[in-house]
Amino acid sequence: MNLDPYQIRKDFPILSRILPNGKPLVYLDNGASSQKPKSVIDATSNYYANDNANIHRGVYYLSQHATELFERTRIKTSHFFQAQCAKAIIFTRGTTDSINLVAQAWGRTHIGEGDEIVLSVQEHHSNLVPWQMLAQEKKAFLKFIPIKEDTTYDLSNLNEIITKRTKLVAISQMSNVTGTIHDLTKIIDRVRQVGAKILVDGAQAACHMPIHLVDMDVDFYAFSGHKMLGPTGVGVLFGKEEILEAMPPWLGGGDMIESVELESSTYAALPAKLEAGTPNIAGVIGFSHALDYLQKVGMKNIKEHERMLTEYALERLNRIGGLQIYGTEDLDKRGGVVSFTMDGIHPHDVGSILDEEGVAIRVGHHCCQPLMKQLAIPGTCRASFYLYNTKEDIDALVHSIDKVKSIFGRVARK
């Protein structure tokens, strides 16, 4: 493994920050958003300082240069994820925006009364609520793939769940709650058998492992740049070119038209047709540098590093009495996320005490309320890792949990 987190940390200014309480920052909330290297920060700032202009419209130098930087990112994204072509990469505001784009542009055209949309019981609200809204509008039905006790998908009744009435399966590749990585092969095979389409929520997976979109044979793949070292407000929707070509626009306005009359319009070719208005130009340019950084480090190296951290975290946390850890024990099926509860202590209390120690984790339902209901808990404490995290970060987490137990009158870990 060729990854030195201590060297990498030097590229991230925020990781050397001392918090107002005097504690050094221990950032373990990468499932929500990653930190940004200086190269990304500088690229975003440089656009506003030296290249600021709108794209696709101006004939002057700044506009042409900004357009070139923006479109170069599209090509780079296509290569990074081994997509069908650059035209199949649509820039959005994030995973949520990408999924809503499919629901509105593709779904409203192809989902009708009595049709079925298949999800899983552990989907993020971003991959649940849009389909609820569409199903209510179209009088369609939602069906759900259940999960096993170890939070992997239960595919024992897959043929009864995905049927000839299924028009779309929308499912996550990696759980944002437990870090469970799902093998989607059987689901994709079944989708092809019934002639349906599949959308994969890759918000968690895309930033932690190599993704080969053509090899996956998915119809749509959605992810966010801010979880993979890029700026906020940048997302990507990959779609098979022939599907995107046939999709009507969702948003109307500038840059997505070919010609406009008073009572009708014709639309631009891909990808412009699905990118109305002025985009987050600075963010997309910054995302280009995030991809450069990840490419240099290597996604396989990142995955291996997170596996090591996860194994170390599980070993240390399992020695603490009164902790319930969620997710599979199979490290081959688990990403860099550890979600746990502490007996008799609310996750919010845990998070507040850890914050006093400078340890930043996520607590709550993680936008997965149906999963929390199935697990019969109000929420969890989630520590999530990335390429710049170290064993010392996990040691700080464990030490802080000992403090939680001490405050609540329990015996600290020996």
Helix, strand, coil fractions of the chain, as percent rounded to 5: 45, 20, 40
Cβ atoms within 10 A of the Cβ of 192, count? 12
Query: With 0-12 CB in 10 A as exposed, 13-18 as middle and 19+ as buried, what is 6?
Result: exposed
Residue in this structure with the two tokens 């997170």, named with its chain if needed: 306
CA distance 84 to 82: 7
- Which helix (DSSP H) or strand (DSSP E) does residue 78 occupy? helix 61-80
Query: Dihedrals φ, ψ of 130, to 5°?
Result: -60, -35
The two beta strands, 257-260 and 265-267, are: antiparallel
From 36, 385, 388, 83, select the one nearest 211 (Cα to Cα): 83
Q: Nearest-5° angle of CA 45, CA 50, CA 54?
A: 90
Contact 346, 380 (CB under 8 A): no
Per the annotation, the verdict on 367 as an active-site residue is: yes
Choosing from 207, 367, 368, 381, which is the catalytic residue?
367
Contact 202, 252 (CB under 8 A): no
CA distance 152 to 279: 37
- Token pair for 388: 């710049």
> Would you name the residues annotated as active-site residues?
367
